[in-house]
Amino acid sequence: MAAASSSDSDACGAESNEANSKWLDAHYDPMANIHTFSACLALADLHGDGEYKLVVGDLGPGGQQPRLKVLKGPLVMTESPLPALPAAAATFLMEQHEPRTPALALASGPCVYVYKNLRPYFKFSLPQLPPNPLEQDLWNQAKEDRIDPLTLKEMLESIRETAEEPLSIQSLRFLQLELSEMEAFVNQHKSNSIKRQTVITTMTTLKKNLADEDAVSCLVLGTENKELLVLDPEAFTILAKMSLPSVPVFLEVSGQFDVEFRLAAACRNGNIYILRRDSKHPKYCIELSAQPVGLIRVHKVLVVGSTQDSLHGFTHKGKKLWTVQMPAAILTMNLLEQHSRGLQAVMAGLANGEVRIYRDKALLNVIHTPDAVTSLCFGRYGREDNTLIMTTRGGGLIIKILKRTAVFVEGGSEVGPPPAQAMKLNVPRKTRLYVDQTLREREAGTAMHRAFQTDLYLLRLRAARAYLQALESSLSPLSTTAREPLKLHAVVSIWVQGLGPTFKLTLHLQNTSTTRPVLGLLVCFLYNEALYSLPRAFFKVPLLVPGLNYPLETFVESLSNKGISDIIKVLVLREGQSAPLLSAHVNMPGSEGLAAA
């Protein structure tokens, strides 16, 4: 833990115009080794001495070493290992007695660990879920050996198919087993009572009966089995239980438990459910069509960040008010509350290393950070009222203090036409030559046009002639003869391999007709006998099955010792006809073997 003082704050160099910034850089430690979520950050005067501490439920690097860290100023004050990963941390007042030091609650697995004065005080465990009576019955039968494993498996499977609630893990494990292992498993586990335990996914606090800043609060827990629980702050009994259609991820509460409250729960199915005191089930539902990444209440507006890189504002009845698009993915969100100016705003940490602060849809401020911020928290820290605490993806810790003179003004940066509007269009320039040519075209346009047309006709004429000639003499390597009853489509391609004086010439023949094979073809090579010799200058082609590629190989010996190369003509003929079906010219390479010698 580096004991970095505020002097190294210029490491946060991203904030270029230091003087104009609304923030003072108090502390930056890129190696603070804090890996956590916004839900696991809490600020509280834990010892009642007016010095606010930062409580961090740290997951540890890679989620391996969960720890409870308490920071005072830039330093870690205490650090203690946790039994499991913390899901949420909250501070709350348990009772009215003096001294009014808040307790710390840490949700982890199925338990809430409550600390007072940073000493373990109470451990609340979620009650066991009732097992399915049918399932219970089956295992009881198994215990008394009245049921064989196969029947047990079938019965359990039928329960799984039909029952609303899932089976206990013991049954699920059993269903996975092979036949041979069942007996042993049943014998081993039959005496255990079947259990279903759930875990806490999120936690927040709710004032009990007073709206004051320092009023007694209840804990509100969201659990994996789609329930919300409200706990009594003193006795830790369950005061209320509400059920949701999906697993809650983020909670936002307003009001008092004994009077009236509203609870908004962002859930894993992408919906946000809004409940009230008297409702056991959600009263309103907001469907986001994306996953929520944060849920913050600002006055009466619910601000939701979604995975589609946008912030949405909703009323308490689920009506959409506005949408703001972010430049990058939102990683975390939290509330910024400046009591002295009565300001409430939303902070969003983005994947591009920005922290944006919005009041409704108006951007108030952008903080550039050296690394993407993964958790945020704003409030009183130490003796400073407006402190922003951020941890980064790499485990760094950034602490910034809001200047006392700083006033957030709406829309400092993004009002008016976009900056691109002032940029000059990049119109391609034209050269002097272009202008000259234009002038010439104006003068002699007609002549140019005529010359062009004449040339074009000549070109077309020549192309047509060449084509006709090629057709007449079958000079093309592609044949489509339609004269014969057997329609022949054949393609020839030729490879020449070797350096000389001996080359290998490979002729690839392919019958491209779809159905009919070709029989009775001959291949003939025409060449200058003074330059080359071929073992077989004329041979029959085997039957050509449609579609297949037939490589026909022959050796060519170069006779010339002067490195002269010539053309070898390859003709494909039909038996009994003198006109070739196909022809190809092979430009033989010079014999390098001789040239070198």
Partner 1 sequence: MALTVVPSFSVSGVWKRTQFPVSTESQKPRQKKAPEFPILEKQNWLIHLHYIRKDYEACKAVIKEQLQETQGLCEYAIYVQALIFRLEGNIQESLELFQTCAVLSPQSADNLKQVARSLFLLGKHKAAIEVYNEAAKLNQKDWEISHNLGVCYIYLKQFNKAQDQLHNALNLNRHDLTYIMLGKIHLLEGDLDKAIEVYKKAVEFSPENTELLTTLGLLYLQLGIYQKAFEHLGNALTYDPTNYKAILAAGSMMQTHGDFDVALTKYRVVACAVLESPPLWNNIGMCFFGKKKYVAAISCLKRANYLAPFDWKILYNLGLVHLTMQQYASAFHFLSAAINFQPKMGELYMLLAVALTNLEDTENAKRAYAEAVHLDKCNPLVNLNYAVLLYNPGEKKNALAQYQEMEKKVSLLKDNSSLEFDSEMVEMAQKLGAALQVGEALVWTKPVKDPKSKHQTTSTSKPASFQQPLGSNQALGQAMSSAAAYRTLPSGAGGTSQFTKPPSLPLEPEPAVESSPTETSE
Identify residues 387-426 at the interface with partner 1 (CB under 8 A): 417-418, 420-426
**Is there binding between residue 499 and partner 1 (CB under 8 A)?**
no
277 contacts: CB under 8 Å, gap ≥ 6: 255, 257, 259, 260, 261
How crowded is residue 503: how many other Cβ atoms within 10 Å of its Cβ? 23
Q: Residue 117 interacts with partner 1 (CB under 8 A)?
A: no
Question: Which residue, 19 or 423, is less far from partner 1 as judged by CB?
Answer: 423
**Cross-strand pairs, 68:** 57, 80
Strand partners for 325: 310
In 3D, which of 576, 472, 570 has the Cα closest to residue 521? 576
Using rule CB under 8 A, residue 70 touches partner 1: no
Cβ nearer to partner 1, comparing 37 with 236: 37
- Of 158 and 469, nearer to partner 1 (C-beta) is 158
Helix axes 169-176 and 179-189, enclosed angle (nearest 10): 150
199 is a site residue for partner 1 (CB under 8 A): yes
Q: Residue 445, interface with partner 1 (CB under 8 A)?
A: yes
Restricting to residues 146-165, which ones interact with partner 1 according to CB under 8 A? 160-164
Q: Is 431 in the site for partner 1 (CB under 8 A)?
A: no
Q: Which two tokens stand for residue 52?
A: 């606010």
Q: Per CB under 8 A, which region of 116-124, 316-324, 337-345, 465-473 contacts partner 1?
A: 316-324
Distance CA 517, CA 400 (A): 83
- β-pairing, 217-223 vs 200-207, is antiparallel
Residue 423 Cβ vs partner 1, minimum distance, rounded to whole Å: 6
Among 81, 130, 428, 485, binds partner 1 (CB under 8 A): 428
Q: Smallest distance, Å, CB 517 to partner 1? A: 38
Residues of span 166-195 touching partner 1 by CB under 8 A: 166, 169-170, 172-173, 175-178, 181, 184, 188-189, 191-192
Q: What is the rounded CA–CA span in Å between residue 114 and residue 104?
A: 6
Residue 585 binds partner 1 (CB under 8 A): no
Is residue 315 at the binding interface for partner 1, with CB under 8 A as the rule?
Answer: no
Q: Is 441 in the site for partner 1 (CB under 8 A)?
A: yes
Site mask, partner 1, residues 533-572, x = CB under 8 A? ----------------------------------------
Should residue 323 be labelled a site residue for partner 1 when binding is judged by CB under 8 A?
yes
Q: Which residues contact 510 (CB under 8 A, 6 or more apart)?
A: 490, 491, 492, 544, 547, 548, 549, 550
The yes or no reply on residue 433 touching partner 1 (CB under 8 A) is: no
110 binds partner 1 (CB under 8 A): yes
Which CB sits closer to partner 1, 65 or 479? 65
Contact between 452 and partner 1 by CB under 8 A: the answer reads yes
In terms of Cα–Cα distance, which of 493, 477, 500, 472 is closest to 552?
A: 493
E-only strand ranges, 109-191: 111-116, 119-125
Closer by beta carbon to partner 1, 390 or else 507? 390
Q: Specify the residue, 7 or 446, whose C-beta has the smaller distance to partner 1.
A: 446
Residue 11 interacts with partner 1 (CB under 8 A): yes or no: no
Structure token pair of residue 165: 């609630």
Smaller CB separation from partner 1, 26 or 142: 142
Q: Is 37 in the site for partner 1 (CB under 8 A)?
A: yes
The number of residues in the chain equals: 597
Residue 578 found at the interface with partner 1 (CB under 8 A) = no
Could you say which DSSP state residue 487 is in?
Answer: -
CB within 8 Å of 268: residues ≥ 6 apart: 246, 247, 248, 249, 291
Find out whether 285 and 272 touch, Cβ atoms under 8 Å: yes
Strands of 103-108's sheet in order across:
86-92, 103-108, 111-116, 119-125
Contact letters for partner 1, residues 343-382 (x by CB under 8 A) = --------x----------------------x--------
Q: Which of 293, 333, 355, 390 binds partner 1 (CB under 8 A)?
A: 293
Which residues have CB under 8 Å from 164's CB, separation 6+? none
